[in-house]
Amino acid sequence: GENVEQHPSTLSVQEGDSAVIKCTYSDSASNYFPWYKQELGKRPQLIIDIRSNVGEKKDQRIAVTLNKTAKHFSLHITETQPEDSAVYFCAATRGAGRRALTFGSGTRLQVQP
Amino acid sequence: EAGVTQFPSHSVIEKGQTVTLRCDPISGHDNLYWYRRVMGKEIKFLLHFVKESKQDESGMPNNRFLAERTGGTYSTLKVQPAELEDSGVYFCASSLTGTANTGELFFGEGSRLTVL
């Protein structure tokens, strides 16, 4: 089955700096890679996703890159703000909407004002 | 529109007792998933329902866990008897099926289970 590794487990940045979270996956057939954000005491919510037919996707201050050859994908947050503080989970699956997601272990991002 | 709701939000039980967690998915979502997060680790898949049928239960750890979704609406996850290692946050998530499904999962806020 799929295995997703996520690094780092914790990340502290100054407000305004960039943050990068990296994930690797094992199943070369995986084709859908979402990122979920879980704020303290709240439910995980999808913030961005990418499918295997593209290498990069951007939405305002967040972007995701995918390297299928190396089987890794990354989340980039620019101009970080205190409200970006949360736990971020990457995930992968070979069947978006039809098969379960395999999640990484999460990254706790702390943005210092 | 109501989101995914889970009950209870927190349950504290003793080893050997039984606990039943409930999930109400978003109305019209045929896909329903149960996940569990043990402290500091990944959100681990338990099982997947499509309507009332178990599509994939490969993540269920053992036969102490029983999930049902009678009628294809809400789902329950029963742990009997509970062990210490069952402690964690149990998440339920739902999504649409077919062409309307974008892949996005809609999560509940989780049920935190503490087994003493």
Q: What is the pLDDT of residues B57-73, one digit of tens each?
A: 999 999 999 999 988 89
Q: A9-36, pLDDT tens digit by residue?
A: 999 999 999 999 999 999 999 999 999 9
Angle at alpha carbon of residue A47, lines to A44 and A49, rounded to 5°? 115
Using a CB-CB distance cutoff of 8 angstroms, which residues of chain A are in contact with residue B48? 99-100
Size of interface A-B (CB pairs under 8 A): 64
CA distance B81 to B46: 17
Residues 59-98 (B) with a CB less than 8 A from some CB of A: 59, 91, 95-97
**Cis bond before residue A113 (omega within 30° of 0):** no
Question: Do the beta carbons of residue B89 and residue B111 sit within 8 Å?
Answer: yes
Average pLDDT, chain B: 94
Predicted local confidence at residue B98, as pLDDT: 79
Predicted local confidence at residue B113, as pLDDT: 97
Q: A67-111, pLDDT tens digit by residue?
A: 999 999 999 999 999 999 999 999 999 988 888 999 999 999 999
Q: Do A49 and B95 touch (CB under 8 A)?
A: no
